[in-house]
Structures are given as structure tokens and as C-alpha cells.
């Protein structure tokens, strides 16, 4: 195990731009598949912040977001054998687990009932439900979002941060399904150029 | 497919961010295998997103790690039940009511279908046996026809036309198998006879002194046998065939005054 740590440090100094070198990620996956506790500890320390940010952008309430994060890491631990490295990076896989869990949470009846009992209502700006938390609103993807025009921003918000399907968005906004698809693709292409 | 256009269409980013439908996702994964540049574009965006996320990481409350670590030591089932417990109880009870209602409806629907299928099966069985009987009848007729067809088309079978010798114009055809010596009769136009009379077929040989030598090929009735081929007697040599009207069950010679029709064979 100490060999693994040493290996990680020397590589992370060499490649500061990449948070984790590729083969280290592979090694991490192998160890997680062997249910290695040290590897999982490392995984948590390394990625919990990034995943928490994305969850908190979807689930504004910090305590609920923490619950979701806990659930997400337990799921990562249990489902690591379903991760297929040919389909994408480990982080992408974890990011999608986190996003799906967060969206499931805001859609659950329990969460919505709870929200209704909160004294402070969310922003009324047409379904932008999560824009009430200033601490995470302007970081990461959300920050990049603000540079998009209003319509594109709304489309990404509805599809990515609120998890609505293209069909649902088309109905909601009263525009044809094909248009929703092309506009989301265009908006997302713009995101790419901004992220770099 | 233009892979450059595909890459710049936003599909790469949609894939990484989990915004594609299952179908689109499957397609994208297939293309990734075939086009290394697509895979490279995907990887580049994944790294960009990862970098962005890592730079903006906000540490979660410290207590969470402990909870996670203790949760992963437990059996999966206990965690699942914990998640279920977070749902409000009202939802569960209304859910079970719906399940009860649904299962009753399902039971009724299943009963209705079972009854319908039972009746259908009964009907099908009946019509099936009817059909079977019909097929058997048709089969036996067909076999008979095939047999006749075989005889008629056999090159060794000679046809002898018997033409009417009375105003009644009784006509018939003889099919005479030269190899087996079998004689078949097809009645074409012969009036019905009183019940005490029968037609009789004769084969006739021209004797040495001009003496006609008839021999019986069998008695037959006209009735339901119209248009059907009758198997008559068996004869190797005949110069002519003739049909007379005789008393029912005649055992004597031909009553040539009652000759109805006659035809010469071509063998002479």
C-alpha cells in the first residue's frame, strides 16, 4: 500500500493539471474492486469535495446534500464492479451517480413536502429551484453557466441540474422537442469552449 | 458519418454530463469504439470537467466520512431499509392500498381472460374435429381421383369408346390395362334402369368361324356411381366390349337384343 501512496505523490507533483494520473486511476479501480478500505479512504478524501459541490448545486439544503453525498459514496463502494472504464473516466462515473442521486432526492415526495414547510421560499424565477444557495451557486459548472445567454442557461439548468427529460422541457417551455434537443446541444458545446 | 460534425454537435458533452437517452448513449459508445478521435474528444472533456470540479470542490461536513465508513461495513440490506424509512409513512400506506387495488383488478382481469380462453379453446376443439372429418372425406375422394388419374394417364392403358346402339345413346369408356389385364369402366351417359334390371359389361372375341365369344366382365348399377370409375373383370384378349341390359344378378349369356352400346378394341 505504501508503494501506491508514494507512486501517487510523485505523479501528482509531475502532473498538477491532471488531479490524478491515468494509471493511478486504474489502480484505484482495481483496489476498490478488491474492497480495499485504504483505497476507499483515499477516494473519499480526494473526491468528496468535488461531488459535494455538484450535489449541493442541485440540493440547496446542506444537510440534505450531505445525506445524499453519504448515499453516493456507499453506492460507489457497492457498485464499483459496474464501472466500465471503456465508457469513461472514474470521476465521470461518480459524477453521474452523484447527479442522479441528487435529482432523485429533489424529486422525492419526502423532500418536496419538507420544502413546503420551510419558512423561506425558493426563488420564483420559473423553475430555477436551486438558485437559492449563494455559497455554491457561482462555482464550477454553475459559474460557467452564468456566461451563457438566458435561454441556454435555463435549458442546461432544467436538463442538467433538475434532471428533466427533453420531452418534459419541451412541454414546459412550449417549444418543439427537436428544438430543445438542438438548443441543449448548442448550449453544451458552448460550455465546452468556456470550460477549457 | 461525418465524425467531425458529430464531435462538434455537443454529443460528447451531453454524453459525459449524462444528458443522452439510452439509445443515443449506446450509439455514442459504439462510435467511440470505431473512432479514436471521438474517444479522445470525450476524454478531453471529461478531464476538463474533472479539473473544473476539483478546483471548485467544497469540503462536506467532516461527520459524513465517518457515517460513510460505518455504512459500508454494514450489510447492504440494512442500508436499503434505512433509505426506505426516510419516505413519509402516508405514502407507503397509500402505496399498499394501490397495490391491493391493483392486485384485485389483476385477479379479475386474469379470471376474465381464463374464461374467454376456455370458451375459445372449446370452440376451437369442435371446429377442429369438424375440419378433421372434412379433411378425411376429401382425402378419400382425392385418393380415388388420383388413382383414376393414374390409370388414365398410364401409357399401357388403352381406351375403348363404347357408343350407343339404341336411341337412348348409352355411352361409356373402357380403360383396359394391357399389362395387368384389368378393365375399368367410366359411365358417360346411361339411363337409370328399373330395380330388377342391371347393366352388364361383356368382352367379346371374334371366334374362328365368325362366331362371337362373349364373356362377362361384371354387372353394374347406375346410381351414385355416375362419373366414377368402376373396376370390372379381368381379360387378356378382347376384340370388342359391349354393354347389355340383363335381369338383376344374371348368370347366363348376353341378351344381345338388349345391346346398349359397343366399341371395338384396336388390338385386332
CB spacing of B51 vs A19 below 8 angstroms:
yes
- B88 touches A at CB < 8 Å: yes
* Nine cell digits for residue B13: 458533452
Of A109, A136, A159, the CB nearest to B91: A109
Print pLDDT tens along chain B (268 aa).
788 888 888 899 889 988 888 899 999 999 999 999 999 999 998 998 888 888 888 899 999 999 999 888 875 544 444 444 444 444 455 677 778 888 888 888 888 888 888 888 999 999 999 999 999 989 988 888 888 888 878 888 888 888 888 877 888 888 888 888 888 888 888 888 888 888 899 988 887 777 788 888 888 888 765 567 788 888 888 888 999 999 888 888 888 788 888 888 865 4
CB atoms within 10 A of CB A97: 20
Whole-angstrom CA distances from A117 to A1, A58, B204 are 49, 19, 120
Of A79-93, A99-113, B193-207, which one has max mean pLDDT? Answer: A79-93
Q: Cα separation of A150 and A172, whole Å? A: 16
Q: Cα separation of B95 and B101, whole Å? A: 10
Q: Is the pLDDT of residue A15 over 80?
A: no
Q: Cα separation of A82 and A101, whole Å? A: 16
Of A4-18, A33-47, A111-125, B96-110, which one has max mean pLDDT? Answer: A33-47
In the prediction, which pLDDT does B184 show?
Answer: 87
ipTM for the predicted complex: 0.75
In the prediction, which pLDDT does A73 show?
Answer: 95
- Taking the CA atoms of B54, B58, B60 and B62 in sequence, report the sign of the dihedral they define: positive
Tell me the shortest Cα–Cα distance from B104 to chain A, in angstroms: 26
**Strand B182-189 vs strand B229-234: parallel, antiparallel, or unpaired?**
antiparallel
Q: Cα separation of B169 and A97, whole Å? A: 100
Find out whether A65 and A17 touch, Cβ atoms under 8 Å.
no
Q: Is the pLDDT of residue A76 over 90?
A: yes
A–B interface: beta-carbon pairs under 8 A: 144
The DSSP code for B213 is: E
Contacts of B53 in chain A (CB under 8 A): 50-51, 53-54, 91, 95, 140-141
Find out whether A194 and A147 touch, Cβ atoms under 8 Å.
yes
In the prediction, which pLDDT does A52 show?
Answer: 94
CB spacing of B50 vs A78 below 8 angstroms:
no
Contacts of B14 in chain A (CB under 8 A): 184-185, 188
Find out whether B185 and B226 touch, Cβ atoms under 8 Å.
no
SS3 of chain A: the string is CHHHHHHHHHHHHHCCCCCCCHHHHHHHHHHHHCCCHHHHHHHHHHHHHHHHHHHHHHCCCHHHHHHHHHHHHHHHHHHHHHCCHHHCCHHHHHHHHHHHHHHHHHHCHHHHHHHHCCCCCCCCCCCCCCCCCHHHHCCHHHHHHCCCCHHHHHHHHHHHHCCCCHHHHHHHHCCCHHHHHHHHHHHHHHHHHHHC
Amino acid at each position: 500500500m505504501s508503494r501506491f501512496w508514494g507512486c501517487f505523490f510523485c505523479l501528482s507533483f509531475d502532473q498538477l493539471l491532471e488531479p490524478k494520473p491515468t494509471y493511478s486511476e486504474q489502480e484505484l479501480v482495481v483496489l476498490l474492486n478488491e474492497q480495499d478500505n485504504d483505497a476507499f479512504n483515499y477516494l473519499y478524501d480526494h473526491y468528496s469535495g468535488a461531488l459535494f459541490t455538484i450535489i449541493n448545486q442541485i440540493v440547496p439544503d446542506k444537510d440534505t446534500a450531505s445525506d445524499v453525498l453519504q448515499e453516493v459514496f456507499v453506492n460507489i463502494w457497492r457498485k464499483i464492479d459496474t464501472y466500465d472504464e471503456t465508457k469513461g473516466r472514474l470521476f465521470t462515473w461518480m459524477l453521474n451517480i452523484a447527479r442522479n442521486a441528487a435529482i432523485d432526492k429533489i424529486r422525492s415526495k419526502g423532500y418536496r413536502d419538507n420544502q413546503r414547510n420551510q419558512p423561506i421560499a425558493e426563488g420564483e424565477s420559473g423553475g430555477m429551484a436551486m438558485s437559492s444557495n449563494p455559497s455554491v451557486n457561482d462555482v464550477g459548472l454553475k459559474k460557467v453557466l452564468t456566461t451563457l445567454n438566458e435561454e441556454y442557461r435555463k435549458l442546461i439548468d432544467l436538463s442538467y441540474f433538475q434532471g428533466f427529460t427533453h420531452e418534459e422541457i419541451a412541454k414546459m417551455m412550449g417549444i418543439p422537442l427537436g428544438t430543445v434537443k438542438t438548443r441543449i446541444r448548442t448550449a453544451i458545446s458552448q460550455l465546452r469552449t468556456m470550460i477549457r | 458519418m461525418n465524425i467531425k460534425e458529430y464531435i462538434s454537435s455537443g454529443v460528447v458533452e451531453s454524453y459525459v454530463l449524462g444528458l443522452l437517452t439510452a439509445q443515443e448513449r449506446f450509439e455514442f459508445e459504439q462510435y467511440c469504439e470505431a473512432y479514436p478521435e471521438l474517444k479522445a474528444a470525450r476524454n478531453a472533456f471529461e478531464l476538463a470537467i474533472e479539473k473544473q470540479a476539483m478546483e471548485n470542490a467544497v469540503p462536506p461536513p467532516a461527520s459524513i466520512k465517518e457515517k460513510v465508513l460505518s455504512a459500508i461495513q454494514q450489510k447492504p440490506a440494512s442500508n436499503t431499509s434505512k433509505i426506505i424509512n426516510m419516505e413519509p409513512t402516508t405514502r407507503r400506506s397509500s402505496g399498499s392500498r394501490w397495490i391491493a387495488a391493483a392486485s384485485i383488478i389483476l385477479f379479475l382481469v386474469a379470471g376474465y381472460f381464463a374464461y374467454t380462453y376456455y370458451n375459445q379453446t372449446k370452440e376451437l376443439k369442435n371446429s377442429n374435429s369438424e375440419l378433421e372429418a372434412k379433411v378425411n372425406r376429401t382425402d378419400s375422394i382425392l385418393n380415388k381421383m388420383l388413382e383414376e388419374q393414374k390409370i388414365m394417364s398410364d401409357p399401357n392403358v388403352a381406351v375403348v369408346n363404347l357408343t350407343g346402339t339404341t336411341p337412348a345413346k348409352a355411352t361409356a369408356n373402357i380403360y383396359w390395362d394391357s399389362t395387368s389385364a384389368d378393365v375399368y369402366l367410366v359411365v358417360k351417359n346411361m339411363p337409370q334402369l328399373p330395380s330388377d334390371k342391371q347393366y352388364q359389361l361383356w368382352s367379346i372375341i371374334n371366334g374362328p368361324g365368325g362366331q362371337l365369344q362373349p364373356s362377362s366382365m361384371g354387372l353394374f348399377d347406375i346410381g351414385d356411381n355416375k362419373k366414377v370409375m368402376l373396376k370390372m373383370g379381368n381379360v387378356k384378349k378382347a376384340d370388342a366390349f359391349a354393354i347389355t341390359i340383363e335381369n338383376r344378378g344374371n348368370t347366363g349369356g348376353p341378351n344381345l337384343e338388349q345391346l346398349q352400346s359397343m366399341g371395338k378394341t384396336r388390338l385386332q
